[in-house]
Each structure stands twice: as structure tokens, then as C-alpha cells.
Structure 1
Amino acid sequence: MVKTRDGVSSGKCSCDKCRPTKKPVRYRFNFLKHMNLRHGNYETITSISYLTEKYGEKRAENIFRFVKCIHKQINSGVNRISDLQASSILPWTRVRLFLLLVTLSQRGGSDYWMEKDGEVRDPPKLKVKEKDVSRVDSEEPKPYGTLIEEVMRQNINENFNESEHDENYVFSSIWANFMEGLINHFLEKVIIPNSEKKVCQQLYKPMMKIISLYNEYNELMEKSERNGFLPANQDPSASINSDVENCVENGKLQTAQRLLWQARQDIPKTISKELTLLSEMYATLSADEQDFELDEFVCSAEEYIELEYLPCLIDVLFDNCGTIYFWKIMIVLEPFFYYIEEVVDEDSASLQEESAKPDPRVVTLEKICQVAAEQDWI
């Protein structure tokens, strides 16, 4: 028991045994802070000041968004991988990851494409030591190929055969897949959401007009039924009294009922047509906007990514090779090397889509409403 200044016991003890144990602080990985960047110019070429000075404000903005997107992916991925997981990577996996990096380093950059005199360089030769894993000690066929062949066959091209393709094909495939993987990641995480936001903003008012029409229609029908002016779900022609057809009041009531009944049939059809048109506009505008933004990004950033960013990123990875962060980052980056669209049976896929595919009009409404809520338009 511990007494306070006024002599009242607080009931708490401050000794080491009774003091609550502090939870260990988990440090969040940050690529720019925790990687060794001293031997290269990675920080320089990814800074907004450098990008603006060299490429102009508009191109610099697109490039900088791309770099931030890649950093975010690396940081979040590394933070999800524990040290135990990274230190438990199998030797074959380490070899495969390192081979991917080495192969990637053989392609791209200004030094590869041109000699000083402007002539196109011959592809670099892959140096293989005599005691490399690709060496076959007997003529007996093996269930596996060389290391490069296995990487290519499993992750790049299932039909790859090293005897039919030269090393330039290997370098090009690795490089092209990695480039496409990075760009498509940026497309998915940045370009598509940004395009959807722009399109939803354009279609927000048309959508609200449809919703307003729908609400007014429902209110009209409910009020008419509540007042007994139009019986629910009943054709007014069935309730006409032939004995009073010549009465003026009944004639007016009959006409009004028929008009309301016709409205009950026509307005939902009008709303349905408007919803279909809205959905079609959304699909068309989204595709156009995504194509436009992707083309603009590629025109702005492709040269930078190939000639500056990737060579510097590769240098950083080699400088940090073997560290716990290196293996974590390679695990995060590995999927980008394998950008392959799965080939599925068209017949079975179409049947599944038909049975499980939701109404695109509903999906469009949900998407616009979701973006509107996120952007506080509502």
C-alpha cells in the first residue's frame, strides 16, 4: 500500500514486481529510413524537387505518386512479415529470390541500351561458374531443370524450355513482367480509384434525379392508396360501375384512376431505362477515364521507371543484400515478377458469371453512393 500526501492509501504499489509490464514497442518499417541508401542516389531521384526540375510539375506529380505507391506497398508488406518468418526462408527460396534480382539487373537502364557511340549494345552474357546449380552430372533426365529454367517455367512461362530460348529472352521476360507488375499495381491502387471518383462525380446528379423520381413516385402511390383514390394492385377498369358511367364525377374519377394506373406501369419502366443508361454511361466513362489516365501516366513515367527508378532500386537492394529487411522486401516484390493473367475455360467461366453476376445497375448505384459518402457529397 502506498500513502499519498494527505495520508490516504492509494492501494497501488510502485515496486518493480507490482509495476505493470510495458508492452514491447513495435517499430514500423519505412523504406527511406531503415534501408542503407548511402551508396546511391535513390533519395535524390525520388525527391519531388529533383523530379520537378527534370520532368516538370505535371510529369513529376505522376511519377511521385507512383513512387509513393511502391513505398507504401513495400512498407505495409514488410510490416506484416515477422523476423521469424524472414529468417526461416528456405535455402531454395533465397536462391530463387536472389536469382530474380540478379536477372532483373541484367536488363534496363541507359547503359544497357546504348554504347557511348550511340550503337545498340549486344545483350550481356550471363556468367555461370563451373559448380553452379545448373550443372548436370549425368545424362540421365532429371525431374527438374536448371535454376533459371525452373524460375521461368514456374513463374513466367509454363512452356519455357531453356534449350529453345536464349538468355536475352530470360532477361527480357523478367524485366517486362516486373515493369508490368509495378505499373499494374499502380493502376489498381491509384489510377482506377481516382478514375472511379471522377466518373462518380459526373454521374452523381443524374443518379440523384433518378432516386428523387423513384421517391416521388412511391409517395404518390402510397398517398393515393391511403386516401382510397387508387386501390392497391387493382386495375381501375375492373371497378367501374356501368350504372354511373354517365355521371360527371364518376367519369372524372375513372379518368384520374386510369391515369394513375398508367403512371404506376410507366414510371417504373422509365426509372429502369434511366438506370440502364446510367450503368452504361458509368462503364463507358470509367473505361475511357482509366485508359486516359493510364496513357498519361505511362507517357510521364515509363522512361523514368526504366532508366532511373529501377536501376537505383536494384542498387539499394544489392547494398542491403542479406539483411532481414532485404529478404522481407524481396518477398513483397516477388509477386511483381510474376505478372501473368490466369487462363480459364471460357465456357465454364461464362456460366459462373451468368449465375453469380449481380445486376450492373445495382452495382453502379452502390459504387456512386459509396464514393459520394466517402467524399461527403451527401
Structure 2
Amino acid sequence: MTEEIRVPRTTRNPRKHVRYKFQFTRDLRFQDTNYKTVTSMDYLSTNYGQRTARIIHSFISCIHRKISHDVSKISDDVVVKVIRPIDKLKLFLLLVTLSQRGGPDYWLDKHGKPNSVDYEEEAELKNFKRKPKLFCTLLENVMRENIKKNFDETLYDENYVYSSIWANFMEGLINHYLERVIIPKSERKVCQQLYKPMMKIISLYNEYNDLIEKSENSGLMLNSKSTTENESAENKLANAQKLLWKARQDIPKTISKELTLLSEMYSTLSVEEQDYQLDQFVCCAEEYIELVYLPSLIDVLFANCGSIDFWKIMFVLEPFFYYIEDLPDEGSGDETEVSDPADEQEKEPSKPDPRVATLEKICEVAAKENWI
């Protein structure tokens, strides 16, 4: 009788027992691609300088975090059982379409001329419809979702589609970086500038509370005085109370004025800082993303094509292909339903003061950055 062979627990597949955490630069195949080279700090510093290299590397790290985080949340069963073959074909078609145009010529046609309607190519596109209906429907779907709902093949040839998808995807990645890195960074900088004005408002508010307490105490003292006491003492208390009550009226006005000023400064500085940071990023990184990063990323995706991680990554990246905002629904027009203002007031609860929201935002950032 042969003895049963037991597999040690440490050698079993950890993905079945511990939640798998995907890492972009660790778990993909990079052979036959230059991805790790062109995304290294050595390459970036040598070709773009230290300052630009740090900005570009921040963008690359942001994209890696996005992919690694979202892929880790998708189980293998989703790829095997949930994502249909038709969905996989669509994702693969997006990648193929993305690879058809790129670099410095993504806004040009294949003859090197500005993109315009080419009637010979237009005829070829119409003959394209003779291919299997399924593939044609997918291509049509990609075209519609990446350009606009009323897509007309007589106006847009495949070169326009390719360049539009490339531009969409690039803008989608940059917009993600804007939301995750540039905007929070700008907020921190603006909040740091407005930290002292905020503390001034809080100091005024604390002073206001103290005055309320003192005026109430003075009123009690005045009321408790005996009528037989010195009249001058009563006058002093009365004058003190008047001054306190005046301060109670003036300080709220000052607080309101300072709150308004703080809110306006926050709005203005935030827009200016975000625009500045975005301009700096685009000047430093746009050419690199267009000429180097995207072509290299496409190579990596093709090198891993068909694997479970590949389908997860394409599923995560799919929204970036549709960066152009949806158009408003047809037929909505400018028609508006006339309603009674009184009814609207009853339906909608009173909105919080946006000035207070600004104050809370600065306090939130100050607490997170340990300024307080």
C-alpha cells in the first residue's frame, strides 16, 4: 500500500487563500519590449533632465497605481465566467485600433497630410462592410462611442477614427492624473496659503463666543443688583453691557466678510494653481507620453495578450478610450417645466453655506498635513 503524498500548505496556490495583489511591473511579461527602460529614472533623467523626469515618473506611477489597484479587485472568475467572448473581442479591437495610429502623426492621414475626407479610402471603408457582420458591428460600435452618437462614415474615415481613439486614450490618462495628483496637490498648496487667514476667522469666532458669554453674565449681574446700591455702579455695568452687545453685532459681520473673502480667494487660487500645474505637466510630459510611453505600453499589452491579467487590464483601461463626454439626449431641447418656487423650497432642503464648506476643506487638509 502506497503512502499518501501530502502537499505542504506553503506550496499551495496562494491566490486561492490570500487576496491576490497585482503589481504592474512585477506580474507582466516585458520581454521584447522597452517599457522598463523608457520608464526608468535613469532613462528619463538622461533624456529629459531631473525636474522633468520627476514629473513624468509621477505620471507613470499614477497609472501603475490605478491599474494595479483595480486589477487586484477583479477575480479570475470574472474573466472566465462574466466577461463574454464578444466583450473580449471588443476590448481586443480597442487595443488593435489604438495601435494603428500614434506618435507625431496621430492627427495626420497615412499620406502625411492633414486629416480630411479621402474618397478612395471612404470607398474602401464601405467595401469593409462586406466582411463578417459581427466584426463590422463591433468596429461601428467603437467608432460611435469614440466620436459621437450620430457617427456618419461618409464624413469620418478610418484614419480619423484611429487618431480620435489615440487622442481620447491619451487625454483620458492625463485627465486621470489631473484628478488624482494635480488637483490634490494644488489644493494642498492653496490651503497652506490660506491657513493663517482661516485661523484668523476661527479666532474671531472664539472671541465672539466669549463675548456672548460675558454679555450674558453682565446682564445677570445687572439684574441682580439691589436698587439700594450705588447708581454709578449700575451705569458702569449698563455701559459695559451695551459695548458687549455692540461687539456681538459687529463681530458676526466681520466673520461673514472674512469668510466671503476666504472663499473667493480659495476659488481663484485653486483655479490658477490647477491651471499652472497642468500647464507645467503638459509642457514636460505630453511629448513623452505621445512619442514614447503609449507605444511602449501598447507593446506590453500585446506581449501579454490573452492572459487573465491582460483581460483585467483592458477591462480597467476601457473607460479611458471614451474620454469624450456624452452628448445630451436628443429631444431634450431647452424645454423646462414651470414649477412653483414655494414647492421647490419645500422639496429641496436648504443648502449649506459654501463659505463654510471652504473653511471645512482647509481644516481637513490642515489636519491631514499636521499643520494644526
Partner of 2:84: 90
Q: Are positions 1:37 and 2:30 aligned together?
A: yes
Distance 1:210 1:377, change over 3 A: same
Cα distance in 1, alignment partners of residues 304 and 134 from structure 2: 34
Query: What CA distance in whole angstroms lies between the structure 2 residues aligned with 1:153 and 1:169?
Result: 12
Gaps spanning 5+ residues in structure 1: where?
Answer: 1-15
**2:358 aligned with 1:367:** no
Higher helix share: 2
* Distance 1:315-1:120 versus aligned 2 partners, 3 A rule: same
Give the distance between the partners of 1:319 and 1:54, measured in 2 at CA. 26
User: Shift in Å at residue 112 of structure 1?
Assistant: 6.4
> For the Cα contact (< 8 Å) 2:211–2:247, is it kept in 1?
no
Amino acid at match of 1:271: I
Q: Do structure 1's residue 284 and structure 2's residue 275 form an aligned pair?
A: no
SS at match of 1:54: helix
Match of 1:266 in 2: 250
Q: Spell out the pairing of 1:261-340 with structure 2 (5 A cutoff).
A: 261-340=245-324
Residues 255-293 of structure 1 show CA distances to partners (whole Å, capped at 9, x for unaligned) of: 322221111111111101111111111111111110000
Which amino acid in the other structure matches residue 308 of structure 1?
V
Count of aligned residue pairs for this structure pair: 338
Task: Name which of 51, 54, 76 aligns with 1:61.
Answer: 54
Does structure 2 conserve the Cα–Cα contact (< 8 Å) formed by 1:113 and 1:120? no
2: CA distance between counterparts of 1:222 and 1:107?
71
1:22-44 CA deviation, whole Å, 9 max, x = no partner?
Answer: 97233321111111101011000
Residue 152 of structure 2 corresponds to which residue in structure 1? 161
1:201 to 1:317, Cα distance in 2 relative to 1, 3 A: same
Q: Deviations over 1:160-214 (max 9, x none)?
A: 1223311122112211111111001000000001110111111111111110111
The normalised TM-score by structure 1 is: 0.79
Distance of aligned partners of 1:122 and 1:362 in 2 relative to their CA distance in 1, 3 Å threshold: closer
Larger radius of gyration: 1
Return the match for 1:222 from 213, 234, 239.
Answer: 213
Cα separation, partners in 2 of 1:99 and 1:114, compared to 1, 3 Å: closer
Mapped contact 2:146–2:168 kept (Cα < 8 A): no
Cα deviation digits, residues 105-151 of structure 1 (max 9, x gap) = 11212576899xxx93688989x99997x4378xxxx9997322212
Q: Secondary structure at the match of 2:219?
A: coil
Mapped contact 1:149–1:161 kept (Cα < 8 A): no
Deviations along 1:226-272, one digit per CA (max 9) or x if unpaired, are xx41369xxx9xx9xxx99x954444333322221111111111101
**Residue identity matched to 1:44:** T
**Correspondences of 1:76-225 after superposition (within 5 Å):** 76-88=69-81, 89-110=83-104, 120=112, 134-135=129-130, 146-225=137-216
- Note if 1:256 corresponds to 2:278: no
TM-aligned CA distance change 1:114 to 1:270, over 3 Å: closer
- Whether the 8 Å contact between 1:230 and 1:260 is mirrored in structure 2 is no
Cα separation, partners in 2 of 1:320 and 1:207, compared to 1, 3 Å: same
Distance 1:357 1:254, change over 3 A: closer
1:230 alignment partner, SS class: helix
Range with bigger deviation, 257-266 or 306-315: 257-266
Question: What's the counterpart of residue 341 of structure 2?
Answer: none
How far does residue 363 in structure 1 lie from its aligned partner after superposition?
A: 1.2
**Aligned counterparts of 2:75 and 2:130: Cα–Cα separation in 1:** 35
Cα distance in 2, alignment partners of residues 254 and 112 from structure 1: 80
Instruction: Give the TM-score taking structure 2 as reference length.
Output: 0.80
1:260–1:111 distance in 2 versus 1, CA, 3 Å: closer
Amino acid at match of 1:369: C
Partners in 1 of 2:89 and 2:134 — Cα distance?
Answer: 19
* Counterpart residue type for residue 65 of structure 1: S
Contact kept in structure 2, 1:135 and 1:146, CA below 8 Å: no
SS of the residue aligned with 2:194? helix
User: Residue 149 of structure 1 contacts residue 162 of structure 1 at CA under 8 Å; is this kept in 2?
Assistant: no
CA gap 1:144/1:79 in 2 versus in 1, 3 angstroms? closer
Aligned partners of 2:41 and 2:53 also within 8 Å:
yes
Of 1, 25, 46 in structure 1, the residue corresponding to residue 39 of structure 2 is 46
1:216 and 1:129 map into 2 onto residues whose CA distance is 75
Write the letter of the residue equivalent to 1:94.
K
Cα distance in structure 2, aligned partners of 1:143 and 1:269: 68
The separation in 1 between residues aligned to 2:36 and 2:127, in whole angstroms, is 38
Amino acid at match of 1:209: K
Between 66-75 and 21-30, report the one with greater CA deviation: 21-30
Q: Give the root-mean-square deviation of aligned CA atoms.
A: 3.6
Q: Which amino acid is the alignment partner of residue 161 of structure 2?
A: V
